[in-house]
Amino acid sequence: MVSPSPLRRVAVFAAAILSPLAVFAASPHEGDPAAGKVMYTECAGCHAFNVNKVGPKHCGVVGRKAGSLPDFANYSEAITESKLVWNEKNLNAFLADPMGFLPDTTMQYAGVPDEESRLDLIAYLKQMSADPKVCPKGK
């Protein structure tokens, strides 16, 4: 058997060192709340964080059961009977295509086609919910 050439050994060694970096580079986009804030202008006509508008308030929405705010009177049955929890996966799918994901929702909004922008928005929803100046009890 021929032993691996020194050059080849160096290459294998380099690959072992660099592969974690490759994994890092390939990891999914981490939401950027600053970019999400800009995207939120799309939502702000109907939503705010700490008051209900046409749509329910967004304080604490990440992790909340869908359609569960006691003081928002205008939920559709589509949402209250969905048994969904607004985890990141469900929010991502809903925001991509609200009326496709939840037919009969009253959220008359076409959605955010770009996944990075959706992750940015979710990061912003989380950041604002954690800010006691905006969402005093995180809710």
Dihedral (Cα; 31, 34, 36, 42), 10-degree rounding: -170
Which residue, among 52, 27, 42, has the nearest Cα to 95 in the 3D structure? 42
Instruction: Name which of 27 and 41 has its Cβ closer to ligand HEC.
Output: 41
Cβ of residue 46: shortest distance to ligand HEC, in angstroms? Answer: 3
The pair of structure tokens assigned to 31 is 């939401």
Instruction: Name which of 14 and 44 has its Cβ closer to ligand HEC.
Output: 44
Instruction: Name which of 71 and 132 has its Cβ closer to ligand HEC.
Output: 71
CA 41 vs. chain centroid, Å, equals 16
CA distance linking residue 91 with residue 98, whole number of Å: 9
Cβ of residue 28: shortest distance to ligand HEC, in angstroms? Answer: 19
Cβ of residue 42: shortest distance to ligand HEC, in angstroms? Answer: 5
Residues in contact with ligand HEC by the rule CB under 6 A: 42-43, 45-47, 54-56, 61, 66-67, 69, 75-76, 78-79, 86, 91, 95, 105-109, 112, 121
CA distance linking residue 33 with residue 120, whole number of Å: 5
Instruction: Name which of 30 and 81 has its Cβ closer to ligand HEC.
Output: 81
